Amino acid sequence: MESVRYGENIMLCKNHYEALLNLKRTYKEWFKAFGSISLNEYLRKVSRLNISGKWVREVASSILEGKLTFQ
């Protein structure tokens, strides 16, 4: 599977990288829709949604656990 460099020392598979980009894009949309939502609250909510895909849930969990940054 193709990998994408994220930051200096992190390689993500293409699916996880796309999930990360989607999380970043939709965070902006959620922030506008809810007026104000913290990044952690957003990630917790997204990771619990049944409609969130496996890759999105895994990336959100990795960010919440401090394994991945939301640059």
**70 lies in a domain?**
no
**56 lies in a domain?**
yes
pLDDT band of 71, cuts 50, 70, 90: confident
Backbone dihedral region of 11: left (phi > 0), alpha (psi from -120 to 50 degrees) or beta? beta
Whether the per-residue pLDDT at 32 is higher than 70: the answer is yes
pLDDT at 8: 67
What is the three-class DSSP state of 5?
strand
**24 lies in a domain?**
yes
Angle of the 14-34 helix axis to the 54-64 helix axis, nearest 10 = 80
**69 lies in a domain?**
no
What is the average per-residue pLDDT within 16-38? Answer: 91
Give me the domain span that covers residue 56: 3-64
- pLDDT tens track for 38-55: 999 999 999 999 999 999
**52 lies in a domain?**
yes
